[in-house]
Every structure is written in C-alpha cells, then in structure tokens.
Amino acid sequence: MTLTPRNAGIGARFGAAAPAYEDHASIQRLAAERLAGDIALLPLPPRPRILEIGCGTGLLTQALARRIGPADWTVTDIASGMLAAAQRGPSLPGQARYQLLDGEHPAGLEGGYDLICSSLAVQWFSDLNAGLGRLAALLAPGGCLAVATLADGTFQEWQAAHAAAGLSAATPRYPSAAAIHPDGGNLAGGVRSERLIHNHPDGLRFLRGLKGIGATTPAPGRAPLGAAQLRRVLAAFDEQGAGVTYHLAYGMWKKSNQHPAGVFVTGTDTGIGKTLVSAILARAWNADYWKPVQTGVAEEPGDTDTVAQLAGLPPERLHLPAYVLQAPLSPWAAATLEDAIVDATSIVPPATQAPLIVEGAGGLYVPIDDTHMMIDLIARLDMPVVLAARSGLGTINHTLLSLEALKRRGIPILGVIMSGPLSAGNKEAIERFGDVRVLAEIPPLAKVDAQTVQALASTIPSLAECLQALGDAPAVAS
C-alpha cells in the first residue's frame, strides 16, 4: 500500500492512538451505532459481501455484526495499529479478512460488494465525492454504500474561538450535507444529518480528546498553533462555554439494478391523494398500474377501477392486487378482522413492458402483516418513490419525517407531489430542507375526471428526466 505523505501522517497518528482510542471515542461510538442501525434496515442478501473503510478499533464492525450476523467481511484501515486493535476484538460471524488499505484509493480489490460502509473516516479524504465514487464503483448491482461523516458546522465553536483570538483554525473544512454525493452514475439515495453538542470541562480536555483518537492532523497547508496563540484560543473557547458541535451526515446510496422502470407512490398519511397522483403519473408516463394491497372495498370501489377511469387505462394495463380486504383499515388490522392471512414477502410485482406505477396503502409505517410495514415492501420492491403530501399547515413536518425515513433505508426519492391550496413557502421548505424536488402541485379541484387528470399529467416532467436526476436512467417509454 503506497500512501501520500499526508495520508501516511494521518495513519501514523491514528495508529499511535489505537490503545486508548475507545476511552475518548464517545461521538465515534454513537455514530457507529446510528449507522449500523440504518444498515440493518437494508434488504441485504444472506451472508452479504461487506467492505468496511477505516474500521478504527472496530466500533462499526462489531455494531454491524450484532445486527446482521454472518457475512463475508473485508475490514480495512489506513493505520496498522487500528487494524490490529479491530482484529483483537470478538470474532466476526462468517468469514473475515483484515487488510491495510487507503480507502480513498482502494487499489487491488475485486469489487462486487453488497455493502461498503464507513463510520467517521471518509472526512479525511482529500476529495470526498471522488473517493466515494471510487468506492461506489466496487459495489455489486443493487449494492449499498453507507457512510457516516462530518459536515459543515462541525467544530464551529473552536473556529469561533480562533476568530476571537484573531486567528484561523487549522481544523479541516467539511462540506454541507447537501453537497455530499459520490461522483459517477447509477446511484440513488441521499444524506440525512443530525447535530450533537459535546460539552467538555475546558478546551484543554477537548484537545486531549482529539489527540486520544488521533484526529490531530491539521488541514492541508496549515501549521499547528504556537504556545502563546494556543493559550489565547483556549481562553476564548473556555469563555464561550467549552461545548463543541458535531454535524454528523449519514449517506446511503444504492447502485442501480437496471431493472425495468417502476415508481412506488406512497404518502405522508392516509387520504392524502395517492390514487389521484397515481392516475396522473400513469397518464403522464404511459404506465401500467398496480395496487399490491387493497383495503376498504366494503365501503367504496377499489383504487384500480378509479385509476383506470381517470387515466384512461385499458384492462391490459391494469394488474390485480395481491390482496383485497373489506375493512377500511391497515392491511394488518383488516386481515385480523377477516381472519385472512397477508404475507408481505409473497408480494411480487407483475411483469410489464411499460413503466409500472405501484400505489401503496396509507403511509410508510402502515403495517402489512405481523412483521412488515409498507416501507419494508417499498425497500424490497427496489423502486424509487414519489411521495404524496398535503400543501397546508403541518405538511413540512410530516413530509420531512417521511423523507428522512426513506433516506435511512437507502430508498431513492423521485420527488414530492403536493395537493391542496398552493403554498410557495411550504414548497420551498420541503425542497430546501428535504433536498428533494417537488414534481407538481395539485390545486383544489372542482371536478376530478379524465380531462382534469390529462391536464395535470401534461405538467409532470418525463420519467426519464426524473430518473436521470437520480443518476438512474434505464431506457423507458415516457
């Protein structure tokens, strides 16, 4: 393994810190557990092939092992001391190998990984997005890249203390969460983030904590402070309270399987307008329609008939539900009342020549059976999502929570369609804070018929354009 002088220095500092690393790694432990929890929700195959970048002492490695069980592990780090510490940990279930590797330039790996993961290591890459792109190239079709890293705003108090002392901090500058994305195509996913405040007794203890984990390499071209300068910065830091912000960014991206185009329509709630949205998309994209689980047929016609009429779909473009239930309840609750058995794992999409619009029942966390929610079905069907949302008061919270849940599962989001009185402010907030495109706004309608649907469908971007924005553009008829 050949390293640049900077990477060699980073590896040496982390390697020297390995013996006492975990005594100072509270933020690293938390990030590893958060990331492992997200990864455990992914539809990984049995005994997945896993590549870990920057394993450290094994915090993420062990957190994953507890959650996913046997795997084919390739565990790597740039520092031999860290790699040795990880290898001394509990044995991993399955087959494991430990390897010195520069994760930013992963030479010599054959690829085909079902999961490539890294917790609080890739922030040391000299070009983050290019490095993530090289890692993504090693994924198998359908494989996932999952990372925790640092984003803009991290160490802002330490930087403010430098500014108060008339100096500039040598801590690295991190990108905004929205700017983090692997270079290259065939990936879909996103980044969620959280901010944590770590309070220290004083600035000296903060610096000792960084030294304890080996995170003391200054930004490129920057030299450490002199003793007198450091005293001024520490005094300013202590005066402002000795707390430090960590802006953690969790990225989850999936490599395209190049399957025929399909879109799953779900909503922030029930009664949100998913059926109308499905009809508009079917008309706009000349698509087939399928509702896997239909409930409430005792009180009103099924959604398949409604979409057929609104979108003008002939019978051959419609596909029968896998389950039809009488009560207007969740599939799980309706099946219980009717003494029926629903098994989410038995739901298989129909083979189609055209794109397929799949409409869910209720929102993401509506239970389908005893162990599966609607979001589990979405993840298993491996389709991008169009999220139906209201336009009015409360929609920002509901929509952002739904987007966050989808991002945690690595489910690509094609966009949001809002229904109700037009609200430029809510639309802007959802696009800005959800990092997503609002594909259309449906105003209050005096009449909902085929002509109305045709008019609304004419405003929808093409499916090819929407998929291209995800970096996932199979050939489709739109």
Q: Is 296 annotated as a binding residue?
A: no
Q: Which residues contact 214 (CB under 8 A, 6 or more apart)?
A: 13, 14, 15, 16, 17, 18, 21, 79
Closest alpha carbon to 193 in 145, 258, 149: 149
Q: Is 241 annotated as a binding residue?
A: no
Q: Is 410 annotated as a binding residue?
A: no
Q: Is 141 annotated as a binding residue?
A: no
Residues noted as catalytic: 291
Burial class (CB in 10 A: 0-12, 13-18, 19+), 204: middle
Helix pair 450-457, 303-311: axis angle to 10 deg: 70
**Alpha helices by DSSP H, 249-325:** 274-284, 303-311
Cα–Cα distances (Å) from 426 to 272, 387, 389, 403, in that order, read 16, 15, 11, 15
Q: Is 359 annotated as a binding residue?
A: yes
What's the Rg (C-alpha) of the chain? Answer: 25
Q: Is 19 annotated as a binding residue?
A: no
Q: Is 318 annotated as a binding residue?
A: no
Q: Is 412 annotated as a binding residue?
A: no
Q: How many helices (H) and strands (E) does the chain have?
A: 16, 16
The amino acid occupying position 219 is: A
Q: Is 459 annotated as a binding residue?
A: no
Burial class (CB in 10 A: 0-12, 13-18, 19+), 136: buried
Q: Is 274 annotated as a binding residue?
A: yes
Annotated binding site for Mg(2+): 275, 303, 359
Annotated binding site: 271-276, 295, 303, 359-362, 443-445
Annotated binding site for ATP: 271-276, 303, 359-362, 443-445
Annotated binding site for substrate: 295
